[in-house]
Amino acid sequence: MLTFVLRRLGSAIPTLFIIVTLSFFLMRLAPGGPFNLERPLPPQIMENLNRTYGFDQPMWRQYLIYMGNVVQGDLGPSYIYRDRSVANLLGEGLGYSIKLGGLALLVALVGGVLAGLLAALRQNRPLDFLIMSGATAGVTIPNFVIGPVLVLIFSITLSWTRAGGWGTGSFRDLVLPVIALALPQLAVFARLTRGAMIEAMSADHIRTARAYGLPARSVVGTHAMRGAMLPIVSYLAPCAAGLLTGSAVVETIFAIPGVGRYFVHGALARDYTVVMGTVVLVAVFVIVFNLIVDVIYGLLDPRVRHD
Amino acid sequence: MTGFRRGGLRAALILGALMAGASPALAEAVLHRGNPGEPNSLDPAQISINVESFILKDLLEGLTTFNAAGEAIPGAAESWEISEDGTVYTFKLREAGKWSNGDPVTAEDFVYSLRRVQDPAVASKYANILHPIRNAKAVNAGEMKPEELGVRAVDDRTLEIVLERPTPYFLELLTHSTGLPVHRGNIEKDGAEWNRPGKLVTNGPFMLEAHIPNDSLTAAKNPHYWDAEAVKLDKVVFYPVEDQAAAVRRFEAGELDMIYNFSASDLERLRAAHGDRIRATPALNTEYYVFDNRAEPFSDARVRRALSMAIDRDFLAQEIFLGASLPTYALSPPMAGYTPAQADFAALSQFDREDQAVELMKEAGYGSGAKPLDITIRYNTNPNHERVATAIADMWKTVFGFNVTMSNQDVTSHYAYLQEGGAFQVARAGWVADYGDPENFLTLNITGNPGFNYGKYSNPDYDALIAASYDETDHEKRFQILHDAEAILMKDQPIAPLLHKAELWGLSARVKGFEDNVNNEHPSRFMSVE
Amino acid sequence: MTDVFSTNATPAPDPGPNPGPGAGLPLPEPEAASRSLGQLAWLRFRRNKAAMFGCATLILVALFSFLGPHLVSHSYDGVYRSYVETPPSIHPRPDEDTLRAAANTLAVRGRVTLESFEVEDGRFTAVLISPQAMDPRVARVFDRSDVFKEAQVQAHEDEGRRLVLTGGVTQETFLMGTDSNGRDLMSRIMLGGQISLAVGLLASLVSLVVGVLYGAVSGYMGGRIDNVMMRLVEILYSLPFVFLVVVLVVFFGRSFILIFLAIGAIEWLDMARIVRGQTLALKRREFVGAAEALGLTDWQIIRRHIIPNVIGPVIVFVTLVVPKVILLESFLSFLGLGVQAPLTSWGALISDGAANMRSAPWLLIWPSLFFVVTLFALNFIGDGLRDAFDPKDR
């Protein structure tokens, strides 16, 4: 197991290298640069900016310089947020995103699996339909609709919660963004759990266990759950990576100071270094979570071997 | 030490929040000010939009500054003299002027700050605003040393600025954020982190207390400010809210006292609930469509005029923007002392405009019975731009029977394409004044304006008049020259001006001291809360 | 626990429940066997009431979207300038008060004053006054609006300072209201439905096929191949999507196929991971070993034993991908890829509606309703398919 983890971590380095290289050139292929503003800059000033940030160098040199800095752990300055470095921007925002995303992940996972279990155990009964309808609505209604509606009800009409901003990070401040962020994922977990549970319970060994008179709870808890966990665990990796690196939509609607906004805003403003920072961030999260998931596979089902 | 400070700050914030809810009499006077975006920088040399300058002008005070009514008033300078030829400005600084660390504000501080803006290594985006200062352009190009800039400290309290040539709007230029001073010791000591909370030294009514990017920026009253006694607020908290609808919701939930630039579709509802606390003020900006003057058929002024005449601007203003925009037939918005030259068809009814437009189009050989036209309108993605394009496409279809399509791109791609001289037919563009002078609008279309003359319009008469305006020192005569130039522009219609967007502000019942003004300057210094 | 698994695991001749022909095991008559399996699944599917209800709903929505535009009088891009943001109503608009207001607006635009206005039997009579003599062409101002037609000057009194106009009134019915440009929302929902159904179903299908194949191959082959294939997924997952789209637009221009490419490029990644996870567990099961012993090739095993057994989570997941894809399409339009105004999609209509939800709630409610109903239908169908093809339930 340890050699497997180490080998995977080793293979992360070339993966990251490819990601950074591809992203670097992909970004430079897009039209415009960070200084193509609605108000065009006089050539003189453009020249000063280009010189300051090294855009006057040939592309391959810019790439080598950038790679050299990245290897030393320097992600460079932001071209838009001129007082700040990428490390500084992402460093300040990531804490907020991880806290919000972590809470949302917890809510989605616990709530979704419980709801899915309930639905599976009451298959094709009213409770099942109720939960699955809720789940379908949850996946379907986008969070740019759910977010504002929640605010209208709970912040403006009832004055129970905060309408936006991080505030002090209390329950009252964060409950709405967490719900908006968690709801679609909760629905996904509920559907995956229900489907997998129904399948697992109909499997022969479960039927056998039941036929032998093992108590229902133990059958569900130990036998069925193990098999049913697989798709949930598989989905956990992209879901966790997505939630923890912030959501541009939810952060914008609730004015959360996280890093999610940089994915879209950074790209629209051609803030290359900031976008690269987000790329590296996502890559690291995805690689790490995929590794964790692969390890869990082995623990859940000893037949899964990493060879 | 830092731990203690941070803890104390948090306690103060919580306490402030609690007290604000409990009893206003005991509470600090805190203004919660919505700001439609996170400032890209807190360095006066680097900022570019009003969202940023609202904050910086509360923190830093230039030689001149604005009062609540948006009029330029003495700031760090208590008085000034202008030499007879209009090229030497001598400012007398206030004796009581102090930085937030207690240092006096000296002429040397301004010399340092103005040189810094022109320093090519600083790479200020708006350095060209102050290029009228002698040698500024050369310094900015790295051809001269910063010491050669035409700015000199005669003594601690006397600052002399020498210009390249008379620039009648120079005092207007100085109110731009590039004219704000910075503290030399602060920058030299704290390096890249000089403008962070606890480090930034300010000379304005407020100082930087806390800043969480994308969440809030807290400015506390500066006790060393020369007019601190008159500042009624203890704190101003700026909340960067990019999403207009989110800002409105936070305003309605009572979290924000002020919101700026919300969507026009909220105007009616907010007015019903908040009455005259919702303000729509004409402002110095113009929304327009550019025709590609280089190629057929838009190289023909008759085609451009006809298309422009067929646009029902009243419909755009009233139905699309619900009165939050004003129709315009001139490029420059009206400003103090200057009446823009409107296109000749401005006086006609829309009905006559359309009749004449059809005739004109026929004369040029297009329209019903002649060649049909396929027109594509390019715009940057934005719901408002899309609605305008949809409406105008429909107008051109109805009046001329043309086939009009639309094409959108993200904002950077759109402007990069236009600035690099890409061919187009009709493209959307807009301009917001840097300073309150028509020159700022009218130079956009001079021949060879790098980057901005998207349609590559060229008329030597127009260029000559704009050039002549720089040599005219008499305000009224100068405005007359600019007016004549604008008349030529409006006759040729290389661009079709559409609307002046109103600045929308929402104020909670607590806010006092806010005055509508065309410069859209609203310093917190003059505001208070109840 | 493993004991239970090993003693009771399904033996080798677990038939591949692929719906297509030739999907069964190499039985003596594979064609016949698979057809009957397909028929069996179809029978089971037909008995599933919820699934049939889902099918019926989906067909209705499709009919509404594709046939609807031929049956309504408003086009999706027709601008009715007098009907900007009109709320939904089953009654024809405008009523007399609205007509009077419209006449007043027109009079102001024609720079005259409306003295009186009456409507009777679909005809209007308006009296206009002005301090100066009026141009009789003012009648055309009324004609040009969407509500009045055939306006004629009946009387030209007081040296042209008083004008009596008569003419017909055009009334329009907007069942779902109009948008902020004065376009009929129902027609736009129909058009949006065509685009969103096409994009949602096709792009999801693409991601389904690519994701399932990729995941199954990666999981089944294992070892180095799996490692490389999964690293590729990680690389694609991390690439900056906005730039990817912008670059696609620059190099290939706008085209409908590009939407599938852009969406396809990312949406199959999660699917591949899930299928791979299932496959890792499946390939150690006895029936796979038995199939290997029978001498089936890797490809045959993947096709007949792996893929049929991952269908459960796959179908659940695909029903989640469809709404994601439909909403993603509107983000692509934002970047200039995908459908351009005045064309539209449900995603674009919903995000437009969300922006105006307080001033014009119908702009959000109607498109969302169609969207949600369609997704419910797809979910029922998905669950029905899963049950019908479940290899263990046979």
> Which residues 165-194 on chain B approach chain A with CB closer than 8 angstroms?
192
Q: How far is A166 from chain C (nearest CA, A)?
A: 23
Note the ipTM here.
Answer: 0.88
The pLDDT score that the predictor gives to residue B259 is: 94
Instruction: Report the alpha-carbon distance of residue C243 to residue B434 in Å, rounded.
Output: 31
CATH of the domain at B228: 3.40.190.10
* Percent over 70 (pLDDT), chain B: 95
pLDDT at B72 over 60: yes
Could you give the count of Cα atoms lying within 13 Å of A5 in the half-sphere of its Cβ? 9
Q: Are C191 and C76 in contact (CB under 8 A)?
A: yes
Q: How far is C3 from chain A (nearest CA, A)?
A: 10
Last residue of a domain, one of B163, B185, B207: B185
Instruction: Report the alpha-carbon distance of residue C316 to residue C235 in Å, rounded.
Output: 25
Q: Angle CA(A111)–CA(A113)–CA(A114) in degrees, nearest 5? A: 65
Q: Do C181 and B407 touch (CB under 8 A)?
A: no
Which residues, including other chains, have CB under 8 Å from residue C32's CB and lie 6 or more apart? none
Chain C partners within 8 Å of B410 (Cβ): 246, 334-336
Nearest to A27 among C243, C323, C368 (CB): C243
Nearest to A136 among C251, C358, C379 (CB): C379
Q: Do A267 and C243 touch (CB under 8 A)?
A: yes
Q: Do C368 and A235 touch (CB under 8 A)?
A: no
Are both B337 and B466 inside the same structural domain?
Answer: yes
The pLDDT score that the predictor gives to residue C354 is: 86
Any CB–CB contact under 8 A between C173 and chain A?
no
pLDDT at B362 over 60: yes
Within-domain flag for B91:
yes
Within-domain flag for B21:
no
Enclosing H/E stretch for A197:
helix A171-202
φ, ψ (nearest 5 deg) of residue B371: -65, 135
Q: How confident is the model at residue C29 (pLDDT cuts 50, 70, 90)?
A: very low
Are both B374 and B427 inside the same structural domain?
Answer: yes
Q: Do B319 and C334 touch (CB under 8 A)?
A: no
Any CB–CB contact under 8 A between A127 and chain C?
no
The pLDDT score that the predictor gives to residue B212 is: 92
Within-domain flag for B19:
no
Give me the number of domains chain B comprises: 3
- The edge-to-edge listing of strands for the beta sheet with C148-157 is C113-120, C123-129, C162-169, C148-157
Q: Are B275 and B361 in contact (CB under 8 A)?
A: no
The pLDDT score that the predictor gives to residue B215 is: 92
The pLDDT score that the predictor gives to residue B443 is: 87
Q: What is the CA radius of gyration of chain A?
A: 24
Are both B341 and B487 inside the same structural domain?
Answer: yes
pLDDT in tens, B110-142: 999 999 999 999 999 889 899 999 999 999 999
The pLDDT score that the predictor gives to residue B335 is: 85
Instruction: Report the alpha-carbon distance of residue B148 to residue B132 in Å, rounded.
Output: 14
The pLDDT score that the predictor gives to residue B450 is: 66
Residue B235, burial from CB neighbour count under 10 angstroms (0-12, 13-18, 19+)? buried
Are both B371 and B436 inside the same structural domain?
Answer: yes
Indicate the range of A57-71, A90-104, B98-112, B365-379 predicted with least confidence: B365-379
Q: Are C261 and C203 in contact (CB under 8 A)?
A: no
| Length of chain A as a residue count | 307
Q: Are B175 and B71 in contact (CB under 8 A)?
A: no
Q: How confident is the model at residue C33 (pLDDT cuts 50, 70, 90)?
A: very low
Which residues, including other chains, have CB under 8 Å from residue B449's CB and lie 6 or more apart? B443
The pLDDT score that the predictor gives to residue B12 is: 43
pLDDT in tens, A158-191: 989 998 888 888 888 999 999 999 999 999 899 8
Within-domain flag for B418:
yes
pLDDT at C8 over 80: no
- Return the residue of C nearest to A299 by Cα: C281
Mean per-residue pLDDT, B391-406: 91
Enclosing H/E stretch for A21:
helix A2-29
pLDDT at B501 over 50: yes
**Range ranked top by mean pLDDT from A80-84, A167-171, B232-236, C123-127:** B232-236
CATH of the domain at B129: 3.90.76.10
Regarding predicted confidence, which is higher, C42 or B353? B353
**Amino acid making up residue A2:** L
The pLDDT score that the predictor gives to residue B211 is: 94
pLDDT in tens, C116-144: 888 877 788 888 887 777 777 777 777 77
Q: How confident is the model at residue C331 (pLDDT cuts 50, 70, 90)?
A: confident
Chain B partners within 8 Å of C182 (Cβ): 319
Q: How confident is the model at residue B11 (pLDDT cuts 50, 70, 90)?
A: very low
Are both B440 and B320 inside the same structural domain?
Answer: yes
Residue C312, burial from CB neighbour count under 10 angstroms (0-12, 13-18, 19+)? buried
Q: Are B36 and B243 in contact (CB under 8 A)?
A: no
Cα-Cα-Cα-Cα torsion C308, C309, C312, C318, nearest 10 degrees, comes to -50
Within-domain flag for B32:
no
Sign of the Cα torsion B167, B60, B247, B254 reads: negative
pLDDT in tens, C233-265: 999 988 888 888 888 887 877 777 777 777 877
Mean per-residue pLDDT, B220-235: 94
* Percent over 70 (pLDDT), chain C: 88
Q: Do C341 and B268 touch (CB under 8 A)?
A: no
- Secondary structure class of B235 (helix, strand, coil): strand
> Which residues 230-289 on chain C approach chain A with CB closer than 8 angstroms?
230-231, 234-235, 237-244, 246-247, 250-251, 269-270, 273-274, 276-278, 280-281, 284-285
Are both B295 and B417 inside the same structural domain?
Answer: yes
Q: Which among B393, B403, B394 is positioned nearest to B371, based on CA atoms?
A: B403
The pLDDT score that the predictor gives to residue B17 is: 44
Q: Do B125 and A41 touch (CB under 8 A)?
A: yes
Regarding predicted confidence, which is higher, A279 or C163? A279
Q: Do C335 and B381 touch (CB under 8 A)?
A: yes
What's the mean pLDDT when you consider all of chain B?
88
CATH of the domain at B479: 3.10.105.10
Q: Which chains touch B (3 or more CB pairs under 8 A)?
A: A, C
Strands (DSSP E) contained in B203-246 are 206-212, 216-221, 235-240
Chain B partners within 8 Å of A166 (Cβ): 212, 215
Mean per-residue pLDDT, B193-201: 92
pLDDT in tens, A23-35: 999 999 888 888 8
The pLDDT score that the predictor gives to residue B429 is: 92
Mean per-residue pLDDT, B176-203: 92
Q: Angle CA(B243)–CA(B247)–CA(B251) in degrees, nearest 5? A: 170
Mean per-residue pLDDT, A216-239: 73
pLDDT in tens, C157-209: 777 778 788 888 777 788 888 888 888 899 999 999 998 898 888 888 888 88
Within-domain flag for B17:
no
Instruction: Report the alpha-carbon distance of residue B126 to residue B46 in Å, rounded.
Output: 7
Within-domain flag for B78:
yes
Q: Are B261 and B498 in contact (CB under 8 A)?
A: no
Are both B387 and B305 inside the same structural domain?
Answer: yes
Last residue of a domain, one of B162, B185, B208: B185
Nearest to A195 among C276, C313, C375 (CB): C313
The pLDDT score that the predictor gives to residue A215 is: 65
Which tokens belong to B366? 């297009």
Regarding predicted confidence, which is higher, C201 or C6? C201
- Secondary structure class of A281 (helix, strand, coil): helix
Instruction: Report the alpha-carbon distance of residue C24 to residue C289 in Å, rounded.
Output: 17
Q: Are B362 and B370 in contact (CB under 8 A)?
A: yes
Q: Do B48 and A43 touch (CB under 8 A)?
A: no
Are both B271 and B302 inside the same structural domain?
Answer: no
pLDDT at B44 over 80: yes
The pLDDT score that the predictor gives to residue B220 is: 95
pLDDT at C12 over 50: no
Are both B307 and B432 inside the same structural domain?
Answer: yes
pLDDT at C73 over 60: yes
Best residue of A4, A198, A222, A234 to probe chain C, by most C CBs closer than 10 Å: A234
Best residue of A36, A99, A158 to probe chain B, by most B CBs closer than 10 Å: A36
Cβ count within 10 A of residue C53: 15
Last residue of a domain, one of B159, B185, B211: B185
Q: How far is C140 from chain A (nearest CA, A)?
A: 40
Are both B479 and B509 inside the same structural domain?
Answer: no
The pLDDT score that the predictor gives to residue B260 is: 92
The pLDDT score that the predictor gives to residue A218 is: 62
Any CB–CB contact under 8 A between A255 and chain B?
yes
Mean per-residue pLDDT, B394-423: 88
Q: Which residue has the tokens 């579709």?
A: B265
Any CB–CB contact under 8 A between A307 and chain B?
no
Within-domain flag for B27:
no
> Which residues 9-68 on chain A approach chain C with CB closer than 8 angstroms?
11, 14-15, 18-19, 22-23, 26-27, 29-31
- Return the residue of C nearest to B244 by Cα: C355
Q: How far is B412 from chain A (nearest CA, A)?
A: 6
Any CB–CB contact under 8 A between A83 and chain B?
yes
The pLDDT score that the predictor gives to residue B26 is: 54
Instruction: Report the alpha-carbon distance of residue B379 to residue B386 in Å, rounded.
Output: 8
Best residue of A29, A140, A188 to probe chain C, by most C CBs closer than 10 Å: A140
pLDDT at C17 over 50: no
Mean per-residue pLDDT, B211-223: 93
The residue range of the domain holding B242 is 192-282+504-529
Are both B294 and B230 inside the same structural domain?
Answer: no
Are both B229 and B364 inside the same structural domain?
Answer: no
